[in-house]
Amino acid sequence: MEKTVMMMTTTTTTKVGSEEKIRPRIIVHGGAGNVTRANLPRASYEAYKRALLSVLAEAQALLGRPEATALEVAVHAVARLEDDALFNCGKGAVFTRAGTNELEASVMVSRGSRRRGVGCTLLKHVKNPVKLAREMLVRGERDDGGGCAHAQLSGRELERLAAEWGLEMVGQDYFFTQRRWDEHVRGLERERGKAEDGRGAVAAETAAAAGPATNGERVRDGDPSWDGHEYLPQGTVGAVVLDRFGTVCAATSTGGLTNKLPGRIGDTPTLGAGFWAEEWMEPSRRADQAAGCRPSSSSSPLDLLSRGDVVGLLGACLPSLSTGPPHVAQKSPRDKDDIRHAVGLSGTGNGDSFLRVNAARTAAAMTRFAPSVSLAQAVDAVAGPGGELEKSAGDRFGKTGEGEGGMIGIELVGSHGRVVQNHNCGGMFRAWVDDDGRHRFMVFKGEEEY
């Protein structure tokens, strides 16, 4: 198995022909949403801080080993969070409307010969879903991968494979925590109360007992279990890691939305929505200019892309049409001036909104196809205040939980890795190692401490 893992993280130089060393980087998150100083007691803040910084320290120590890969470190970090009932994943997963737990997880690496990313969903008995996602990814690289040529699997068959592969299986009672159960009950009671106010006791009983038959009405009215005051976990946990070989890995795990309908599949196991990783070779700046890829003087590629001006974007980034002989600016992918560019992203928040805008891949595509746009700028445009996630909720933003979320990521350009992050909601639990090697933790914006 280790041999297969290393196939996906084979050491290659980031600038072809150079021997520049890459400094490993890591960032982790523990969810995002309508968290405020008013609904996050100091004791809870300190508990999140201790948990995330502990996981960060462990992962950073692993990352310092010469043989450490981004895949192994990211999976280790997320598995540790899955074992902590504080977070909405694994042991601390929220309950569905029916009072059950349905877990999801995913991993993706920026390079791989066959399978770069996989998602697992509708899991009820796998203790650590992220370890199952890793197993799917690694086995998918093999000729005899046991049917793992698929990028996404769910339910009973996947759990059968998990048991066959030796992953730890547990009963549903393992995932029970009183805290999550109380959130589940309060959400249903709040929904029942709103139904009684608007439609009478009979309608209330119907809404509380029914599943899919009332879902359309719930969506139109907003989610009655979301009151904007109590912090209800909407998101995931995740880790993005860059190793010394230049590979970026994003690993993500979640219990989903509080009181989601059974069978609901969110953004966490969906490639491009809640997670993404990729790499590509870029020509040098001189080659870019020779090909005519330069920003418009009036609008940047990011401005054009965010407004949906595809024609303008193509005009800014592609050579202008002419009647003369075409200028061929093709370069060999092994040209010594080519620069390796890699990104990895993990999202957290309202998963249906992430699905609606294909959030993670949208941010990565902004960086890849508009070369003057950094990943930090792209994350701002998607997950920051006023970004695509917020826009997707329209006038429902701030009222229903729609559009809320955040992203963490890492961008590698040449040999330089940069940690990025942003969110559009009350807060996002995150921890990372900064450029000076300090271990940092934040929930809110602008202030590091509570």
Q: Which domains does the chain have, with CATH numbers?
A: 2-80+232-283+335-439 (3.60.20.30)
Q: 81 or 193: whose pLDDT is higher? A: 81
Query: Quick one: pLDDT at residue 125?
Result: 98
pLDDT tens digits, one per residue of 297-336: 345 555 555 555 544 554 554 444 344 433 333 444 456 6
Q: 411 or 299: whose pLDDT is higher? A: 411
Q: Place 128 in a pLDDT band, splitting at 50, 70 and 90.
A: very high
169 pLDDT higher than 80:
yes
Q: Is 14 a catalytic residue?
A: no
Cβ atoms of 28 and 430 within 8 Å: the answer is yes
278 pLDDT higher than 70:
yes
Q: In this structure, what are the phi and psi dihedrals at residue 350, rounded to the nearest 5 degrees? A: -75, 105
Beta bridge partners of 433: 439
Cβ atoms of 276 and 410 within 8 Å: the answer is no
Report the pLDDT averaged over residues 328-352: 77
Q: Place 362 in a pLDDT band, splitting at 50, 70 and 90.
A: very high
Q: Place 236 in a pLDDT band, splitting at 50, 70 and 90.
A: confident
Q: 356 or 309: whose pLDDT is higher? A: 356
Query: Quick one: pLDDT at residue 145?
Result: 61
266 marked ligand binding residue: yes
350 marked ligand binding residue: yes
Distance, CA of 172 to chain centre: 25
Q: How far apart are CA 345 and CA 360, in angstroms?
A: 6
351 marked ligand binding residue: yes
Q: Place 115 in a pLDDT band, splitting at 50, 70 and 90.
A: confident
Would you list the DSSP string of 132-199? Answer: HHHHHHHHHTSTT-SSTT-SEEEHHHHHHHHHHTT--B--GGGG--HHHHHHHHHHHHHHHHHHHHHH
Considering the candidates 9, 121, 236, 270, report the single residue annotated as catalytic.
236
Beta bridge partners of 432: 27, 440
211 pLDDT higher than 60:
no
Cβ atoms of 1 and 146 within 8 Å: the answer is no
Q: Place 241 in a pLDDT band, splitting at 50, 70 and 90.
A: very high
Query: Quick one: pLDDT at residue 335?
Result: 62
140 marked ligand binding residue: no
23 marked ligand binding residue: no
Q: 176 or 196: whose pLDDT is higher? A: 176
Q: Copy the structure tokens of residue 174.
A: 């393992």
pTM reported for the whole predicted model: 0.81
Query: Quick one: pLDDT at residue 318?
Result: 47
267 marked ligand binding residue: yes
Q: Give, in order, the Cα–Cα distances in Å from 235 to each of 262, 366, 374.
A: 17, 23, 25
Q: Give, in order, the Cα–Cα distances in Å from 353 to each of 108, 337, 359, 423.
A: 21, 40, 8, 13
Q: How far apart are CA 384 and CA 377, in angstroms?
A: 9
Q: Place 421 in a pLDDT band, splitting at 50, 70 and 90.
A: very high
Report the pLDDT averaged over residues 365-380: 95
Would you list the DSSP string of 59-100? Answer: HHHHHTSTT--HHHHHHHHHHHHHT-TTSSSGGGPPP-TTS-
Q: How far apart are CA 91 and CA 255, in angstroms?
A: 9
Q: List the Cα angle 87/392/264 in 5-degree steps.
A: 50
